[in-house]
Structure 1
Amino acid sequence: MGRLEELRHFNLLQWLREERQSRKLILFIVFVALLLDNMLLTVVVPIIPSYLYNLDESAELALKNQTAPGPDAAGSFHSIVSLYDNSVRTSGSNSSARPVDRVGPTGAGPGGPHNSSDCPQASSTLANENVRVGLLFASKATVQLITNPFIGPLTNRIGYQLPIFVGFCIMFLSTIMFAFSSSYALLFVARSLQGVGSSCSSVAGMGMLASVYTDDEERGHAIGIALGGLAMGVLVGPPFGSVMYEFVGKTAPFLILAFLALFDGALQLVVLQPTKVEPESQKGTPLLTLMKDPYIVIAAGAICFGNMAIAMLEPTLPIWMMETMCARKWQLGVAFLPASISYLIGTYIFGSLAHRMGRWLCALVGMALVGISVICVPFASNIYGLILPNFGIGFAIGMVDSSMMPIMGYLVDLRHVSVYGSVYAIADVAFCMGFALGPSIGGSIAESIGFPWLMTIIGIVDILFSPLCIFLRNPPGQEEKIAILMDSSCSMKTRSYSTQGTFYQGGDMDPEDDEYD
């Protein structure tokens, strides 16, 4: 029996040694890292607005009870909180507030139409949460925006596996902080800390994929699959967060994400064995040089403005739904489900199709479709009316991301040195600018001129930007690099996978052993 266990252990170790150089396993690790990052990014969307609103209401009620305690105050608390919150729990209490059937002035009984007094009004504390929620959501992207210019060049010097593992550690700490934070300040710190971990994971992950998938079409397919992890996180995050928040409480969804983070970290330790890698003599193009490339700027702009639409929706749509639809907490997350599903579909389909139809055309159509769909959102009168425009938004953003992420690596191959850390730092900066400016500006605009005008503005911006994608149709490049790219696409399987900044240097990996499927 002991001999059998030894053989199993030996076979497992042998399998792990072989799989450490597997492109598919690396793709899976990046997939899981993006899944975790974006689940944590979106799981807070339905939780934070309602949670902060109830924190404010509880604090205001406690102050009133101190000055004028009495039965009326308790009744006021029940009527205010019962509609929305069952997560602001007092210690030692196992019960949660539930919606109650009330008879309004019109005589509507249980199951009848909601009275306007059941919903927070535009002048209430809820409307003022737009700015605070927007700033909280934007803090992650802002910190990530600041961190990316340092992470990109760092990966060029020490490799990709150590930064992606550090990103996991920071992500785990942020998740635990979210689970047990009970104040706006601590939630803000947790969200900001997530930005550092996300920067490490996304920049290193995309750079790693671009390094091991050197063929342009295969790279596009691989990045499309990796973006599927992002899509899955966006897909699962809001409904998962809202349902868990409604029926279990705030802490539970974050503890589950912490467990997922531990799984990803263990996988990285076994497969990647994070260590510093000595760079090769080839030096990557400086970050500032890449930022001055007009074609890279256009691709980054498409990523930024495309994702800014959903970034503006995240903090403002739940509050608008609570004001106009009397939406329950579970509905605040489920409303994003069509966008998440369609984003997953879009990234999967256009990961390969965009290469055939032209990535510039795919991005142009996607940007225009984002704009049209966003403008249609305020016309919805209930949660069912949000299905079609949100589906269009997610599908269109999937078209843009699955086109522009691969084209970033292609532009570096075509016009610069084929070292990818810095260019994917720029791509992540563009993504972060959308998610930094979107919530912060969107919250202020929604508070000042209203949610419908906010959607109209960002929709027009996306439509006006879309024609710029035409410039990516045939970007000029160095003649010798064009010849190399054409030759590499024909002899992909005979090329070495020893790439600057990766753990394949000096390796004897045979591409035939792990042909990409």
Structure 2
Amino acid sequence: MGRLQTLREFSLLRWLRDGRQSRRLILLIVFIALLLDNMLLTVVVPIIPSYLYSADHDHSSVKNQTASPEHSTVTSNNFHTIYSYYDSSTMMTGNASEQTTARPESFPIPTTQAPVSSTTEPQSDCPKKDSVLLNENVKVGLLFASKATVQLITNPFIGPLTNRIGYQIPMFAGFCIMFISTIMFAFSKSYTLLFLARSFQGIGSSCSSVAGMGMLASVYTDDEERGNAMGIALGGLAMGVLVGPPFGSVMYEFVGKTAPFLILAVLALLDGALQLFVLQPSKAEPESQQGTPLFTLLRDPYILIAAGSICFANMAIAMLEPALPIWMMETMCSRKWQLGVAFVPASISYLIGTNIFGILAHKMGRWLCSLIGMLLVGVSILCVPFAKNIYGLIVPNFGVGFAIGMVDSSMMPIMGYLVDLRHVSVYGSVYAIADVAFCMGFAIGPSTGGAIARSIGFPWLMTIIGIIDILFAPLCFFLRSPPAKEEKMAILMEHNCPAKTRMYTTQDSVQHYQLEEEEESECDE
């Protein structure tokens, strides 16, 4: 019996050791981390606008109810209505007319006033376009943007940090912070606490996304394999975006606000346990090479074009998230569960787009895939305001999600490729830039989108971001054949070894390198 237990423990230790060396298991961990992070990101989309509006509406109703008894007391002290069953007449008496009510039988005062009805007008599910609803655009937009803003500030520190201490510790730190943020969301009832929970999530997201993408880029060195792996990892992001809004809206409608966040907290604990046993964060090793400085990468025009594509494509959906539910409440009288279901077509199509073009973009040219995606984002977003009901949102939202999937699955691998081609092959900083671009879209989008929707209307908001995407699309052409820097080629040629010199070839507008393992071993000898 003891021998059997020893064999099981040995098998478990061997599985963990093999798992730390398994690229597929690392890909699974990154997939789950992005899935849960983006579920938390989007589960609040249908909950927060309705929750804040209900809280503000109930607060104003309580004020009116507490003020009404005083008003009725004053009215009752001044005027009284007496109905006579004898002659079916009604007399109004009060402080100013007490002298005339001394002989009511002599001076009957018939009245033609309408009877007071005990029933009130049926209340509509559609909120009125009042100042409370318009202010929600700004409040919700700022709350949604807080996460991306904090993530934007944190990323420049996380990128260089991963270059020094490795990817495992920041990855595990991201899980811990996400778990705390999820608990805060579950039990926060005020706008201030929800704002803090959303902001705190930004720090955890920065750790998870930068470390996760950098880890994949370091273990998948082949350009085609890296594109496929990142397409799968972005599928986790897409799954989170897909499941989050409907999951949040249904749970909020039928269970309550706390339930979806508690479920996410349990799933986060399982992910943390997997990271702890497989990655063993305490034994992380730093990068052997010193990476290119962050500001040097930011001066690279090709990296900036790729980052701009990520930013403006995701800014479209970032503007939709806070503004679309409020516009649906205002124009379509949508119920709570519909506010999240409206995003399902975009989420499904994003999942499809990332999985298809993670493989296809390498063959057709990532620059071309991104260019078409940017154009499709612009056209689809322009069609959103023409919807008259929730069914009219299916096609435009599907187009938006599919197009963003094309852009993300193309630009994420090309970021690592540009570093291989033009800089030192250490990926923490460049994926910090990619995450900064992603966060800029989700920071600028909701914060400015809410104000624009309030001032000039939701249709004009969609028109502005749609035109921006269409105008930016032609810049992707410059990524067709980016040149290698002379300094990088000189460093590679110094080794005077064909395996250490990366041979760049052009195939259908896609550059890639090939390393021969046999030659590499000979050069090492």
Q: Is structure 2 residue 372 aligned with structure 1 residue 365?
A: yes
Partner of 1:217: 224
Partner letter of residue 324 of structure 2?
A: L
Match runs of 1:53-452 below 5 Å: 53-69=53-69, 117-275=124-282, 277=284, 279=286, 282-452=289-459
Structure 1 contact 159–276 (Cα < 8 Å) conserved: no
Q: Distance in 2 between matches of 1:270 and 1:492?
A: 34
**Separation of aligned partners in 2, 1:226 and 1:364:** 22
SS at match of 2:281: coil
Shift of residue 18 of structure 1?
1.2
Query: Is 1:30 the counterpart of 2:33 in the alignment?
Result: no
* Contact kept in structure 2, 1:215 and 1:492, CA below 8 Å: no
Q: CA deviation at 1:495?
A: 9.6
User: Which one has the bigger strand percentage?
Assistant: 2
More deviation, 474-483/27-36:
474-483
Map of 2:12 onto structure 1: 12
Indicate the percent of aligned positions where both proteins have the same amino acid. 77
Aligned-pair distance for 1:124? 4.4
Matched letter for residue 245 of structure 1: Y
User: Structure 1 CA distance, aligned partners of 2:318 and 2:17?
Assistant: 41
Assess if the C-alpha contact under 8 Å between 1:34 and 1:227 holds in 2: yes
Moved more, 61-70 or 416-425: 61-70
Contact map agreement 1:371 1:463 (CA 8 A) in 2? yes
1:177 and 1:38 map into 2 onto residues whose CA distance is: 16
* Cα distance in 1 between the residues matched to 2:433 and 2:120: 55
Indicate whether 1:476 and 2:483 are aligned.
Answer: yes
Aligned residues: 458
What amino acid does structure 2 have at the position aligned with 1:348? N
> 8 Å contact 2:287–2:426 — kept in the other structure?
no
Question: Aligned with 1:474: secondary structure?
Answer: coil
Amino acid at match of 1:309: A
SS in 2 for 1:275: helix
Aligned residue identity for 1:220? G
Deviates more, 1:37-46 or 1:116-125: 116-125
How has the CA–CA distance of structure 1 residues 494 and 351 changed in structure 2, closer, same or farther, with 3 Å as cutoff?
farther
- One-letter amino acid matched to 2:308: G
Q: C-alpha separation between the residues in 1 aligned to 2:515 and 2:290?
A: 24
What amino acid maps onto 2:235 in structure 1? G
**Structure with larger Rg:** 2
**Shift, 1:496, TM fit:** 9.0
Paired residues of 1:34 and 1:201 also in contact (CA < 8 A): yes
Q: Which amino acid aligns with 1:291?
A: L
| Offset of residue 119 of structure 1 | 1.4
- 8 Å CA contact retained: 2:318, 2:446: yes
CA separation of 1:406 and 1:449: change in aligned 2, threshold 3 A: same
Q: Equivalents in 2 of 1:308, 1:492: separation in Å?
A: 41
Please report how far the alpha carbon of residue 275 of structure 1 lies from its aligned counterpart in structure 2 after TM superposition: 2.2
CA distance in 2, matches of 1:13, 1:289: 43
Farther-moved stretch of structure 1 (451-460 vs 478-487): 478-487
Change (3 A) 1:214 1:251: same
Contact 2:246 2:344 in 1 (8 A): yes
Letter in 2 for 1:36: L
Q: Which runs of 5+ in 1 are unaligned?
A: 73-102, 106-114, 498-517
TM-score by length of 1: 0.85
Give the match's secondary structure for 1:68: helix
SS in 2 for 1:45: coil
Matched residue of 1:285: which SS? coil
Cα distance in 2 for residues equivalent to 1:451 and 1:50:
18
Matches of 2:503 and 2:12, distance apart in 1: 38
| Cα deviation code 1:111-136 (max 9, x no counterpart) | xxxx9954112224122200000000
CA distance in 1, matches of 2:518, 2:175: 34
C-alpha distance in structure 2 between counterparts of 1:58 and 1:123, whole Å = 15
SS in 2 for 1:120: coil
For residue 326 of structure 1, give the secondary structure of its aligned residue in structure 2: coil
Unaligned ranges ≥5, structure 2: 73-118, 494-500, 506-511
Letter of the structure 1 residue corresponding to residue 37 of structure 2: D
TM-score normalised over the length of structure 2: 0.84
Q: Which amino acid aligns with 1:29?
A: I
Corresponding residue for residue 99 of structure 2: none
Task: Specify whether residues 360 and 249 from structure 1 end up closer, same or farther in structure 2 by C-alpha distance, changes over 3 A only.
Answer: same
Residue 57 of structure 1 and its aligned partner are, at CA, apart by 1.3
Shift of 1:277: 4.2
Aligned twin of 1:504: none
Q: Is the 8 A contact 2:209 2:435 kept in 1?
A: yes
The secondary structure found in structure 2 opposite 1:62 is helix
Kept in 2, the 8 Å contact 1:158–1:276? The answer is: no
C-alpha RMSD of matched pairs (Å): 2.2
